Chain A
Amino acid sequence: MKTQKVSALITALLLVITTLISNRNAEAQSSKLPCRIEISIAHISKDLWVKTGKRAVKVDAFSRCHSPQSKVTLTVELWKTGEFLNHFVYSTVKRSIGITSPRDQVENFDTYVYCKNRETTSYYGIAYSKAFIEGKWQYARHVLSRIINPIDCGT
């Protein structure tokens, strides 16, 4: 019994240490990355609802870099979950020609689809980008919405 308790304690301790180390590595890695992409949770657009009375599911994303970036291509995809496979719904690409300073962000807020009915569906977004930074192309890896929420919106 005592051996089991000690073993459980050691396992828990190892888990905590591993988590701490991996978190520290992730932080170090993210501080090294030249660009950061953020994507929202899929949601019903309040703005559209207020202005038109129509419901639409939407995901927003933006990219911000530590250095000036140009020729930014920011892609945002909207997906819905399925029983066996997830299904692509809609995607948009914004290609920004000019130079974007480190203070500013390149936004893509145009990825939305009108609801056909109120069928509960789980949606999520994916965003990725490429940009010309300090003389070379930089690619930001795919970022997924933090949470996949069921929404009363069939598409």
Chain B
Amino acid sequence: MAECFRLMQAERSRYELQAAILFEKGSFSRQNGNYLLKYKIKGDRFVWNALPSLATENSYSGEAAISKSRIEQIEQLIEFFAKSEAGIIS
């Protein structure tokens, strides 16, 4: 969780760019170490899936209710992206 907080600060500008892509396309994915991270907007929720390249590794996913205002949504996505990356590390 401390890693999530660190990422929220250190990777903020990258996450803002990712948020713009997600709003524009509705989904996107990126490789993060041994995991493929997939993000999408599904109804009223942001969804992430972390899929391992090795069949022996655990997989993870998360969902968050989308906030009302765009400013809140961007802040929420910054936390969301950080969680998805930090969750794999912990």
Show the binding face of A for B, using Cβ within 8 Å: 45, 47-48, 51-52, 54, 56, 87-98, 110, 112-114
A90–B64 CB distance below 8 A: yes
With A48-B2, A56-B1 given, can you name 13 additional A-B contacts, CB distance below 8 Å? Answer: A45-B1, A48-B1, A51-B1, A51-B2, A88-B45, A93-B60, A93-B61, A94-B60, A95-B60, A98-B56, A110-B60, A113-B64, A113-B79
Q: A123 CB to closest chain B CB, in angstroms?
A: 13
Show the binding face of B for A, using Cβ within 8 Å: 1-2, 5, 45, 55-65, 79, 83, 87, 90
B2–A92 CB distance below 8 A: no
A91–B1 CB distance below 8 A: no
Can you pick out 19 interface pairs between chain A and chain B where the beta carbons lie within 8 Å of each other? A52-B5, A54-B5, A87-B65, A88-B65, A90-B62, A90-B63, A90-B64, A91-B62, A91-B64, A92-B60, A92-B61, A92-B87, A93-B60, A93-B61, A95-B61, A96-B58, A97-B57, A110-B60, A113-B64
Residues on A with beta carbons closer than 8 Å to the beta carbon of B62: 90-93, 110
Interface centre among A87, A94, A114 (most CB of B within 10 A): A114
The 5 closest A-B pairs by CB, nearest first: A51-B2, A52-B5, A95-B59, A93-B61, A92-B62
Residues on A with beta carbons closer than 8 Å to the beta carbon of B1: 45, 47-48, 51-52, 56, 112
